[in-house]
Amino acid sequence: MSMLRFALFSLALTACDAAEKAPASAEPPGFCSGEQLFGNPNATTGLTAEQCTPTCTDCGAAPYLPPTFDDAALATLTTLVNDTPSALLAANPYAEGSADPIPEGSVCAVTPTTPGHYRLDTFASASAARDAGAEVTHVGLCGQCSSLNNLAVYIAQQDLTEPVRECGLLAMRENDAAAFDCLLALGFDEPCAQIWQFNTKHTQLKCLGVCLAALDDPYHLPDGALNPCLVCDEVQSGPVFKAVAGRTRRNSGLPNALCRPCAEVTPLAHAYAFESSDTGR
């Protein structure tokens, strides 16, 4: 049996040139700046491709164009084994009312271990992660959604707002178990599905009237601002979700149907190197 060293996302390196050319001293976040909107608008976004693009231009040495992934790369992400999985939450984190602040500069990073396996660790800075031989996968603390399996879901699902909303409505029409199964069907692992379910239920509690009124509205107003329902979710549920989930699309540098200022986006290459067994069969 021989060991074949390969870069899992070498196919994405051309798209990641902007991140590769970042000054060595640059630490996410803050590499991109400005109010230019970053995302992949669809028919529900409410903005044009001119108003929102999957590129940030004010990003140091070169524009940030996020990496692209084919189906094979995404499938591989879901087969990799996380040696440090998150446990299911013992209680609803929203019951405490607030979240501890996320340490400034902290990152969650991937370190390959045995073939096909990796571990996740929180580091005080991106440079500390690099010094330890780890690859930053998002900024902030590692959490319930930090695994590479959930990264694959975030990449594949360009618009999670509508399907997650449908899962939340299932809880109202049927029960929590049906809603949880709905989230799992999107591809999330159980720890990540759990915090998404807590987030959805908390938003229903705090924002139900606002969200029912905006049910058929596009995600954005003509000036680029989020609609009132999404603003309510951001304010009421966002801080706890970010602290507990760990990974979000923004802190992973991934565009989606909700458009965000480039200053809120972390440019990342997502180029992880793993070892694979080649049996010759």
pLDDT value, residue 266? 92
Across the range 270-276, mean pLDDT stands at 79
Report phi then psi at 121, rounded to 5. -140, 145
CA atoms within 13 Å, Cβ hemisphere of 269: 22
Across the range 63-87, mean pLDDT stands at 93
Bridge partners (DSSP) of residue 107 are: 123, 139
pLDDT digits (tens, 9 = 90+) for 181-197: 999 999 999 999 999 99
pLDDT value, residue 29? 41
- Indicate if the pLDDT at residue 72 is higher than 50: yes
Separation between Cα atoms, residue 56 and residue 65, nearest integer Å: 7
pLDDT value, residue 8? 35
Separation between Cα atoms, residue 161 and residue 169, nearest integer Å: 12
- Cβ-Cβ contacts under 8 Å for 269 (sequence gap 6 or more): 9, 12, 13, 16, 19, 20, 67, 135
- Indicate if the pLDDT at residue 260 is higher than 60: yes
pLDDT digits (tens, 9 = 90+) for 128-180: 999 999 999 999 999 999 999 999 999 999 899 889 988 988 888 889 899 99
Confidence band (pLDDT; 50, 70, 90) for 100? confident
pLDDT value, residue 275? 67
pLDDT value, residue 276? 56
**41, 27 in Cβ contact below 8 A?**
no
pLDDT digits (tens, 9 = 90+) for 5-51: 333 333 232 233 333 333 333 344 446 888 899 999 999 999 999 99
Mean pLDDT of the chain: 86
pLDDT value, residue 215? 86
Least confident of 9-18, 177-186, 233-242, 255-264: 9-18
pLDDT value, residue 147? 98
Token code pair at residue 25: 């001293």
Question: b vs e for 108-138, b when ≥16 Cβ sit within 10 Å of the residue's Cβ?
Answer: bbbbbeeeeebbbebbebbbbbeeeebbbbb
228: part of which helix (H) or strand (E)?
helix 228-236
Domain ranges, ordered by start, for the chain: 2-278
Token code pair at residue 120: 């996740």
Tell me which amino acid residue 196 is: W
- Indicate if the pLDDT at residue 111 is higher than 80: yes
**269, 19 in Cβ contact below 8 A?**
yes
53: part of which helix (H) or strand (E)?
strand 52-53
**18, 32 in Cβ contact below 8 A?**
no
Confidence band (pLDDT; 50, 70, 90) for 234? very high
- Indicate if the pLDDT at residue 242 is higher than 50: yes
